Amino acid sequence: MNETLSLSERADALEHKMMCELDQAIFVKSHLFNLADGNIHAPNTPDAFQNKQLVMGDDPRLPKMPAKPTLIDFFRYRFGPANHMLQSAHHAIKAGMDEKIVLACLLHDIAVIGFIRADHGYWGAQLLEPYVDPEVSWAIRAHQALRFYPDESVGYSYPELYAKFFGADYKPDAYIEDEYKRARNHKWYMTSRMITVYDIYSFDSDLIVCIDEFTDVIGRHFKQPKEGLGFDNSPVAHMWRTLIRPTKFL
């Protein structure tokens, strides 16, 4: 066992090893995970797992979340590498942007790093709506469409990276184009547009930004529930609980 691990981490690793060896648990992918693997026929019924116990609590492979998790806890224990979003918000601060824009930049790809890529602007906005100003959640939703369309007034061009990723002839889906047209005339258009400005040019492998840099901004503009994210009976609490226990069977 890795001697560099803390005592607690070693205990967790040993527990996981014992559970696997004794067939006391199995980690079941949801159908959505299987679809992402191109598998529509993966067995997902209890009969397929013989006598193994199914996970209905914490996954011992993941860091244990606090009883009343905060947004910062999710950055630390659940979100994948978040340096892109942290850089985006860092650059927005350096440019003197309003704190609402800083928060929107900090959270704009929250669905990508914590939940799902497809329609990430919509998922991210929904995840955040009970806890942020409507301007922030709207801007996060709209940035999904705006990033595909240039705006010379703020120096934003179609990203060269997108041409590489999607091909030079790629054309966004019709619903994205419709969303762009609606957003273009919206009163909060420029808030969302600023996300795209500080999004594309924030990739810097040499710049490491810590979430602690944004503690005050989060404290002023994110409505942290006293019960903890996932346990406040909000319309999206189940989404945060899914992030806490992504392998829970039911």
Q: What is the DSSP letter of 214?
A: G
205's CB contacts (< 8 A; 6+ apart) are none
Helix (H) or strand (E) holding 227: none
Q: Mean of the per-residue pLDDT values for the chain?
A: 88
What the block records as the tokens of 52 is 């193994």
The amino acid sitting at 215 is T
What pLDDT digit, counting tens, does each position of 99-148 carry? Answer: 999 999 999 999 999 999 999 999 999 999 999 999 999 999 999 999 99
* CA atoms of 242 and 247, how far apart (whole Å): 8
The amino acid sitting at 3 is E
Q: What is the DSSP letter of 213?
A: G
Give whichever of 5-14, 45-54, 172-181, 201-210 has the largest mean pLDDT: 172-181
**Quick one: average pLDDT of 22-45?**
72
First to last CA, the chain: 32
CA atoms within 13 A on the CB side of 32: 7
* CA atoms of 218 and 224, how far apart (whole Å): 9
User: Which pLDDT band holds residue 20 (cuts at 50, 70, 90)?
Assistant: low
What percentage of the chain reaches a pLDDT higher than 90?
Answer: 66
Note whether 76 and 211 are within 8 A (CB): yes
For every residue of 5-28, DSSP letters joined together read S-HHHHHHHHHHHHHHHTT--B-P
* CA atoms of 60 and 15, how far apart (whole Å): 8
